[in-house]
Amino acid sequence: MAASLLSRRTGLFFGVSKLNSFIPAVVHQIANYNPRPLWLNIKNPYIPNKESEKTPDWQKTEKYDRRLFGRYGRASGIDPAKLWPSHARLEELLAEEREWHPPLEVMLGNIAAREKEKAQKRMESEKTIAANMAKMPKMIADWKKQKREVKQKQREEKIRRDKLLAEARERFGYALDPRSIKFKEMVAEIEKEEKKKRKLLKRSKREEEQGLPTATAESSQ
Amino acid sequence: MMSVSKTTAGKTIDIVKNLPRITLANLRPNPGATKDEKRRGRGLHGGNRSGRGHKGERQRGNRPRLGFEGGQTPFYLIIPKYGYNADHSRRPQYPPLSLRRLQYLIDLGRLDPTLPIDLTQLVNGRGVTIQPLKRDHGVQLTDEGADIFCAKVNLEVQVASEKAIAAIERNGGVITTSYYDPRSLQVLIKPVPFLMSGEPIPKRLLPGEELLPYYTDANNRGYLSDPAQVQCARASLAQKYGYRLPDISADERFEMLAQRKDPRQIFFGLSPGWVVNMADKKILKPTDDKLLRYYGS
């Protein structure tokens, strides 16, 4: 495919007749682009003298040795075994890996745990919401009832007050202030009378009930 | 000019033919289309200081840049970035590669579809520019040009949209999304400077916990996902977008299309731990037990 490409490209420029004389029969094209030439300077490599004091420190480091090897290969005179990390360095790397890069299973486990926690929280909150929503009709009814009762009480209270006021007005002949002593005395009187009436009512009711069972017992007998 | 009502249908063209030719002298813009420009420094009111004010930086055109507050730390520096823009400079970025551009590169011969197309190949063919130091984590495949895409490729990108995946698979190709940590990415996009440094090829790290769900998902064709699920995802995607999924195993280039990198591998055919020397044209492999275990894990 690459060869056909090249021939197609060259065919455009030079024409088919010149193709045979300019280009060999087998074209070996490695890249489809024009790579930058690699000027490696293998003929006169600069390899620093490790013992001398004049060479700067950075040219005596392991990193520089690796770079020398990378550029010049075996001609640099560096032992290839030095390219890989030493055992001490390897221990450091392993420790780092153990701490900062957990294996795939551990990471998946962490993710799963987090997802589960989130899902659980969501479920719990949804449950509470559902439970509360189920309670809602009853709570609404209760609240409404309570409000109604309060209103009812207020209305009754108002009626009672109005009645007392009217009673007071009748008795004394003028609009009496509910906070005055006379009014309060009057209220107390009315209360007493009401109590007496209720007691009488109760007694009569009891007598009726007692009378009725005895009457029925007598009639049955 | 002649009004239309005086002429019959056939005579209009004769009249138009007989009118004088259109020149600049016969043309005039519609009323209200043009407005006279404001000319500074002319007339009793426009002259004198020409609308620049009285002395100082205003008149002399030496005002400082927008946002400068006379030396006080300006508003746009003193307010910290929060919320939507917090940590924006640390977010991973994925320069886009549209299917249209991919097709263009293949057509021009800058990419070879007979070999797996990798980020290295894309950068070699100058299809994309990746800057790992600017938080680029790879390339994302966008679906512009999905309708004109017609190449069968074995593609490896970092992020791909669903439509782009569909477009590639429809043409009988294969797409994988894989993760490269920043060091591996630098090695991947510029292999030659890396090989010149004489370092052993590092092993690719796994994605962090944030990106792991993306790369274990078969719908994204993640490199850590289950191959069986990938097959199911291919079928369901074909059904979703309405094309017949071609059978790759019957293809002539099946072996090339089936080539996939190991999760710890950066280059095809090269394992982590090897030293590639270009001067000698040799590959050096470690023999030490511990090193082999480290690079093989």
Q: Does B279 touch chain A (CB under 8 A)?
A: yes
Instruction: Please report the pLDDT score of residue A155 as a whole number.
Output: 97
- State mean pLDDT over B133-144: 96
Of A33, A85, A107, the CB nearest to B209: A107
Touching check for B95 and chain A: CB below 8 Å?
Answer: no
B91-112 pLDDT tens trace: 999 999 999 999 999 999 999 9
For residue A23, the model assigns a pLDDT of: 40
Res. B268 pLDDT band, cuts 50 70 90: very high
Q: Looking at per-residue confidence, does A84 or A32 come out higher? A: A84
Kindly list the residues from chain A whose CB atom is less than 8 angstroms away from the CB atom of residue B200.
83-84
Write out chain B residues lying below 8 Å of A103, CB-based.
206
pLDDT for the residue A30: 57
Q: From chain A, pick out residues whose CB is under 8 angstroms from the CB of B197.
A: 66-67, 70
As a whole number, mean pLDDT of residues B261-276 equals 96
pLDDT for residue B95: 97
Contact: B198, A66; criterion CB under 8 Å: yes
Cβ contact B216–A107 (<8 Å): no
CB B174 within 8 A of CB B155: yes
Q: Residue A69: which of B114, B198, B213 has the nearest Cβ?
A: B198
Chain B residues closer than 8 Å to A84 by CB: 200, 273, 275, 286, 288, 291
Q: H or E segment at B39?
A: none
Considering CB atoms only, which of A33, A69, A111 is closest to B277? A69
pLDDT at A166: 87
pLDDT band at A187 (very low <50, low <70, confident <90, very high): confident
* Partners of residue B112 in chain A, C-beta under 8 Å: 1-2, 32
Q: Which residue has the higher pLDDT, B6 or A165?
A: A165
pLDDT of residue A7: 37
Residue A42 has pLDDT above 70, yes or no: yes
* Token pair of B203 as six digits: 């092993």
> Quick one: average pLDDT of B180-205?
96
Q: Is residue A156's pLDDT more than 90?
A: yes
**Which own/partner pairs from B285-288 qualify as long-range (CB within 8 Å, at least 24 positions apart)?**
B286/A84, B286/B200, B288/A84
For residue A29, the model assigns a pLDDT of: 56
Q: Are B186 and B194 in contact (CB under 8 A)?
A: yes
In this prediction, residues B248-257 reach a mean pLDDT of: 94
User: Given A70, A80, A108, which is nearest B197 (Cβ)?
Assistant: A70
* Chain B neighbors of A107, CB-CB under 8 A: 206, 209, 212
Residues of A whose CB is below 8 A from B111: 32
- Mean pLDDT check: name the lowest of A16-20, A44-48, A176-180: A16-20
Q: Which residues of A89-98 are buried (b: 16+ CB within 10 A; e: fewer)?
A: ebeeeeeeee
Q: Is this complex's ipTM strictly greater than 0.90?
A: no
From residue B245, how far is each of B120, B134, B231, B234 by CA, in Å?
28, 38, 10, 8
Between chains, do B192 and A38 touch, taking CB under 8 Å as contact? yes
Q: Is the pLDDT of residue A40 over 80?
A: no
Task: Kindly report the nearest CA distance between residue A74 and chain B, in angstroms.
Answer: 7
The yes-or-no verdict on residue A220 having pLDDT over 90 is no
Selecting from A33, A94, A110 the residue whose C-beta is nearest the C-beta of B126 gives A33
* pLDDT for the residue numbered A174: 80
Residues of A in contact with B224 (CB under 8 A): 104
Q: Is the pLDDT of residue B9 over 80?
A: no
> What is the band of B137 on the pLDDT scale with cuts at 50, 70, 90?
very high
Residues 6+ positions from A204 with CB-CB distance below 8 Å? none
Alpha carbon of residue A98 to chain centroid: 30
Classify B202 as helix, strand or coil: coil
3-state secondary structure of B173: coil
**B199 touches A: beta carbon within 8 Å:** yes
pLDDT at position A213: 79
CA B197 to chain A, closest CA, distance in angstroms equals 4
Residues B189, B190, B195, B197, CA torsion sign: negative
Closest CA to B221 of B207, B206, B237: B237
What is the residue-averaged pLDDT of chain A?
Answer: 84
Confidence band (pLDDT; 50, 70, 90) for A28? Answer: low
Nearest by CB to residue A87, choosing from B124, B273, B290, is B290
Q: How confident is the model at residue A114 (pLDDT cuts 50, 70, 90)?
A: very high
Between residues 16 and 45 of chain B, which touch chain A (CB distance below 8 Å)? Answer: none
Q: Is B273 on the interface with A (CB under 8 A)?
A: yes
Least confident of A166-175, B106-115, B247-256: A166-175
Residues of chain A with a CB closer than 8 angstroms to some CB in chain B? 1-2, 5, 9, 31-33, 35, 38, 40, 42, 65-75, 80, 83-85, 87, 90, 93-94, 101, 103-104, 107-108, 110-111
* pLDDT score at A20: 39
Instruction: Say what percent of chain A tops pLDDT 90.
Output: 57
Give the pair of three-digit tokens for residue A44.
Answer: 């006169």
pLDDT band at A170 (very low <50, low <70, confident <90, very high): confident
Chain A residues close to B216, C-beta within 8 Å: 108
Given a cut of 80, is residue A74 above it in pLDDT? yes
The identity of residue A133, as a single letter, is: M
| CB atoms B109 and A9 under 8 Å | yes
Q: Residue B7 has what pLDDT?
A: 59
Q: What is the DSSP letter of B282?
A: E
**CB pairs < 8 Å spanning A and B:** 86
Asked if A33 lies within 8 A of B224 by C-beta distance, the reply is: no
